Amino acid sequence: MIDVTERAAQEIRRLMEKEKVPNAMLRMAVKGGGCSGLSYALSFVDTPKEFDKVFEAHGLKLVVDKKSYIFLNGTVLDYTSDLMKSGFEFKNPNAKKSCGCGTSFTA
């Protein structure tokens, strides 16, 4: 299971409007690279691929490929905004170590 907080859902909707893709799905993926070995990737897609897992949260559809799901199962996507920084935050129970920027991790 993958979940999205209400704050993250609001930001995703805002970005969908800005990008003019109101009916898109949010693809969450894990790719090799980053300072800790694996990095998170977010993008908008129109349709899922054949073996993708599809989740719904706060009226949004989330799409995850099978390989990424191994690393993302149980993750909560949040959004924070304060004086120091703003951006998406991955609360991933599978991450053994993550970098300071919060966009890469070790599983």
DSSP result, 4-29: E-HHHHHHHHHHHHHTT-TT-EEEEE
Q: What is the pLDDT of residues 13-32, one digit of tens each?
A: 999 999 999 999 999 999 88
Burial 6-40 (b: 16+ CB within 10 A, else e): ebbbebbeeebeeeeeeebbbbbbbeeebebebbb
User: Closest Cα partner for 95 from 54, 42, 53, 37?
Assistant: 37
- Write out the two tokens for 92: 């991933």
pLDDT tens digits in sequence order for the chain, 107 residues long? 999 999 999 999 999 999 999 999 999 999 886 665 788 899 999 999 999 999 999 999 999 999 999 999 999 999 998 877 789 999 999 887 665 555 555 55
Structural domains in the chain, CATH included, are 3-106 (2.60.300.12)
- Write out the two tokens for 66: 């099978």
